[in-house]
Structure 1
Amino acid sequence: MSLSPRHAVLIPSYNSGSLLAETVKEALGAWPDVIVVIDGSDDGSDRVVAGLCAEHAGLAMLRLPTNRGKGAAVLAGALWARAHGFSHVLTMDADGQHPASAIHPFVSRSQAWPDAMVLGRPVFGKDAPFIRVWGREISNMLVGIETGGMVRDCLFGFRVYPLAPLIATMEASRFMRGFDFDPEVVARLCWHGVPAENIPTSVRYPSANEGGISHFHYGRDNLRLILMHLRLLFAWMRGGNRERR
């Protein structure tokens, strides 16, 4: 690992509406290097961001021609970041859920421990939907089993990843391209010996009046998560947690 880690904020976005520009502006206010990956959006949400690129030298925007999923967008951004000399990315959602005020503390912790993942552990407010708070507990319990308790919340997307193991882990698998990305990648990174530090982090859920948008489909995406955990548990029982050896 480089003695001088270089971090970028990575924001994958699919039809995030007006909240994308707000999120990007807040991120730029906290950190100078920001990468936005437009994952096949067709709502025009990237237009303001394109204008911001002319005003901020550290802002880059990538466009994927079709919607490939969150994991695929993160991988595209990670490859771009590595090619441009970055060693780490901090991922944050485009919909205003994650606090830009936490960017600097997370990056600082990563700079002190560059080989580790720095993972947000959400602190929910009163605006958090009940089904989303409690529905994630099953995934957290299973990933806790699969990682020996190293990961305290497997679905919260506000995280710092070291790029080298992140890219290697994703390129070694055809999975982790959609909503299965967040939980599966942390499990597999743990299996490959990447330490994890969990930091409590506030989270908010913008209302529809505020432009809040969710692309999570409870039936389809919960089925994908179930299949992902079956895949991980099978690998874990076969000794997948010894991949690092």
Structure 2
Amino acid sequence: MFNPCVVIPIYNHSETIAGVIDGINALNLPCIVVDDGSNESTKQVLNQLQQDSSGLTLVTLAKNQGKGAAVKQGLATAWLHGYSHALQVDADGQHDLQDIPQLLAKARQHPEALVTGQPLYDDSIPKSRQYGRLFTHFWVWLETLSLTDSMIGFRVYPLASTVTVLDQVVGERMDFDIEVLVKMIWHEIPVEVYPTRVIYPENGISHFNLWHDNWLISKMHTRLMCGMLLRLPNLIKRKLFNQQTTHWASIRERGSIWGLTFLLWMFRLGGDKLVRPLLYPIIGYFYLTNKAAQQASKTYLSRVAEQQVQHNKTVQHLSEQIPPDALVSSQDSFKHFMQFGQAALDKCAVWANKITVKDVDIINGELFDNLLENKQGAVFITAHFGNSEICRALAYAKYGQKVNVLVHTKHAVAFNKIIREINPEAQLSLIEVTDIGPDTAIMLSEKIEQGEFIVIVGDRTSVNDPANCCYLDFLGYQAPFPKGPFVLAGLLKCPVYLLLCYQAQSRYRVHFEKITEKIPFGKKVREQEIIKTAQIYVSYLERFCLKQPLQWFNFFNFWQQDKVVKSQTYAVKKVVK
């Protein structure tokens, strides 16, 4: 039974704790507050909050023992009270309490896992803390072979497994959050992440002691590195062979925001020539440790090869074709991974004005010009193919046209912030959505009326409703494609275009194709028109994948093997015809 509570350690945060408790009460969650020997003014605030909040349990430690000790006490109390999970929240107001429902939903979905926030910082984070975190993340990666933020205290602990680990955690101050995460990974407790905004409040109180706590953390990493050496064979075995296939939205962002931040920081310092050599060891690590992504890449490339054989293609180079009478090799798959890494750096390069209009060929550009001339808004459906970021940057640089991109995750929002650091003048508009509700639909409709463009990817199923898809012919097999982008285009009653950008040798090609002037949206024809329009999009995507196979970047089990049916026998073919 999923029965969560909130645990809040507090030490002298009398000014912020009431706001945090109000946020918890608004969610009707029981709360355990552990007073870690606070001053008298904080005790008075806590006593008043306890009287006003029936769901608040106050635990008082006689003297200050450290944040870790307070969290331990809170988790133990939660377990004794019969709770199954405990959400740790800091008392200083750093955490975004609006993300609590999402964290708990993820914990309900993965009850055995530790669910931890993946922090997205704004400009309030001190640079010393930012770079210090990168240093700690590097050591945690060595100790666990996992890229997970280890210092955020915004976590949902599965209490049954956590209490067995707590006795082995030595750290009881600022080293606790790091050590407990490492040891839970050592105990093979799965870790799930959820991107969440973290702020450093102005005039906020920090109890981090630069010298004392860094000394504790250094000693802790020495202990953990010794423990890691004993566990290294098992860690490598788990990393190589215990890959799981899940819906794409549940797959952890393997590059992680802090790793991307580090690369982009290097890009700002030394540019392209400094960063590109770093791609080989970084991509090599991800390639060797992610067997599921390797297999997904090989499956995709093999299906491209099958289609090329059927069409009697002549083959010279993998960048153009895949050898028809040879199996896809690990070298081919690694090239696929490397192309993804290079595309990520190209996104930085275009916003840093290293890639400009003169480096790009525009195919069917008159379609775009006509929209601008008529001030006609439109929906552009793109894919995880090539580098659509180039389209967005050049649309503003050349035409002054604002392009609104719908994204599914907060990682994209974090990337948006990083791009602004590279180019403060970058005109970006990312709209984070999980569902298209009435408010979002009205807002998008207004943008279309103003002649703006909406860009949405069409080759990944919905985060919240993965079943809302249609199975369509793609590289000879039935694959799930989302209905959402086409439903949205029908609701907005505007033209629908394909938009792809890919690299051909040393140049980039932006390709426009008109899919339909408008998707009819009557009740009787709606489903058929959605499927028909989606199949046109998929046919274009297949054509480009056959032309540039290494530039399609869906490294997961796209075809969902348990549901695959050969395309020639699938009923939707009749609908399309």
TM over 0.5: yes
Cα deviation, 1:176-195, whole Å, max 9, x if unaligned, reads: 21111001100000010100
Whether 1:185 aligns to 2:180 is: yes
Percent of pairs with identical residues: 36
In structure 2, relative to structure 1, the CA distance for the partners of 1:12 and 1:53 (3 Å cut) is same
Equivalent-residue separation in structure 2 for 1:194 and 1:129 (angstroms): 32
CA distance in structure 2 between the aligned counterparts of 1:46 and 1:114, rounded to whole angstroms:
34
Quick one: distance in 2 between partners of 1:161 and 1:49?
Answer: 24
Q: Is 2:131 the counterpart of 1:134? A: yes
| Aligned match of 1:200 | 195
Distance 2:129 2:229 in 1: 28
Counterpart amino acid of residue 191 in structure 1 = W
Deviation, 1:146, is 1.4
Q: Does structure 2 retain, via aligned residues, the 8 Å contact 1:191–1:242? A: no
Whole-angstrom CA distance in 2 between matches of 1:127 and 1:43: 29
Letter in 2 for 1:187: V
Gap regions ≥5 residues in structure 1? none
Contact 1:17 / 1:43 at 8 angstroms: preserved in 2? no
Q: Partners in 2 of 1:104 and 1:70 — Cα distance?
A: 24
Aligned CA distance change for structure 1 residues 230 and 38 (closer, same or farther; 3 Å): same
Of 9, 21, 25, 2:18 maps to 21
Deviation at 1:240, TM superposition (A): 7.0
User: Does 1:99 pair with 2:96?
Assistant: yes
Q: Does 1:38 align with 2:30?
A: no
Q: Distance in 1 between matches of 2:220 and 2:199?
A: 27
Secondary structure of the 2:123 match is coil
Q: Say which one has the larger Rg.
A: 2
Following TM superposition, by how much is the alpha carbon of 1:43 offset from its aligned partner in structure 2, in angstroms? 4.1
CA distance in 2, matches of 1:5, 1:195: 17
Secondary structure of 1:160 counterpart: strand
Q: Is contact 2:14-2:45 (8 Å) kept?
A: no
Greater RCO, 1 or 2 (C-alpha within 8 Å, sep 6+)? 1
Per the TM alignment, residue 132 of structure 1 is displaced from its structure 2 partner at its CA by 0.8
The answer as to whether partners of 1:30 and 1:101 remain within 8 angstroms in 2 is no
C-alpha RMSD of matched pairs (Å): 1.7
Rate the CA distance shift 1:241–1:131 in 2: closer, same or farther, 3 A: farther
Higher helix share: 2
Q: Which residue of 1 aligns with 2:72?
A: 75
1:93 is paired with a residue whose SS is: coil
Per-residue CA deviations over 1:116-166 (Å, capped at 9, x if unaligned) read 0111111010111111111110111111121121x4210011001111222
Question: Does the residue aligned with 2:52 lie in a helix, a strand or coil?
Answer: coil
| Cα distance in 2 between the residues matched to 1:65 and 1:189 | 29
Whether 1:234 aligns to 2:231 is: no
Question: 2:233, 2:172 → 1: CA distance?
Answer: 21
Asked if residue 216 in structure 1 is aligned to residue 208 in structure 2, the reply is: yes
Write the letter of the residue equivalent to 1:96: G
- CA 1:190–1:203: 2 relative to 1, 3 Å: same
Distance 1:111 1:156, change over 3 A: same
What is the alpha-carbon distance in structure 2 between the residues aligned to residue 162 and residue 7 of structure 1?
9
Moved more, 43-52 or 229-238: 43-52
Structure 1 residue 165 and structure 2 residue 161: aligned? yes
TM-score, with length taken from structure 2? 0.40
Q: Deviations over 1:198-238 (max 9, x none)?
A: 11110111111xxx100101111111111111110011012
Tell me, yes or no, if the aligned pair for 1:147 and 1:241 is still in contact at 8 Å: no
List structure 1 segments (4+ residues) > 6 angstroms apart after TM superposition.
none
| Cross-structure match for 1:86 | 83
- Per mean C-alpha deviation after superposition, the further-off stretch among 15-24 and 96-105 is 15-24
Gaps of 5+ in 2: 239-577
